[in-house]
Amino acid sequence: MQQPAVTKGLIVKAKLDQFFGRAPYGYSYDRKNGTIVIDPINAKVVTRAFELYATGEYTLLGLSQAVFDETGKRLTRSNLVRILKSHFYIAQIICAGREYKGNHPQLVDSATFGLVQNIMSARSKIVLVTRLEDVISKGEL
C-alpha cells in the first residue's frame, strides 16, 4: 500500500530530525534557530511527573494532585497519559510506527521511561481483567 504524500513528508522530516507540529509540554520551539529547546519551568514538571510515577506509588489522579502540590501546575489525567507515553521525552520521534533518533534534548532517562511504561502497561491489564470479571459476573458475556 502506498503512503500518502503527507505521511511521506513527515517520515522524511523525522529521518532528518526536523521537528514538525507543536512542541510537547516541557519544550518550546525556538523560531530563531528552528529547534526544540527545553522550557525550564515546565520541563521540571514533566521530569517530576516521571520520577513520581516511576515509584509505583501513584495512580494517575494521585499523580496529578502530587504534581500540583509540588509545582503548582495542574495536569489532567489525559495530559499525564500523553506525557508519560511520549517517546519524545527520551529524544525519540515516532512517525508512521517507526522510531527515529531526535536531536532535541532528552528530559527523562531511558531507564525511568521504561519503568513508567511497564507500570502503565501492568495497570492497564489489571483494569482490563477487572472489567472482564465484572462483565462475566453480570452475565453479559
- What's the number of domains the chain is made of? 1
Q: What is the CATH number of the domain that holds 80?
A: 3.90.1750.20
Contact between residue 37 and residue 44 where contact means Cβ atoms under 8 Å apart = no
Question: Helix or strand or coil: residue 43?
Answer: helix
- pTM, two decimals, is 0.75
Segment 63-82, tens digit of pLDDT: 999 999 999 999 999 999 99
Q: Containing domain of residue 45, as a range?
A: 5-137
pLDDT > 80? residue 127: no
The vertex-123 CA angle with 43 and 131, nearest 5°, equals 135
Q: Give me 86's grid cell.
A: 511520549
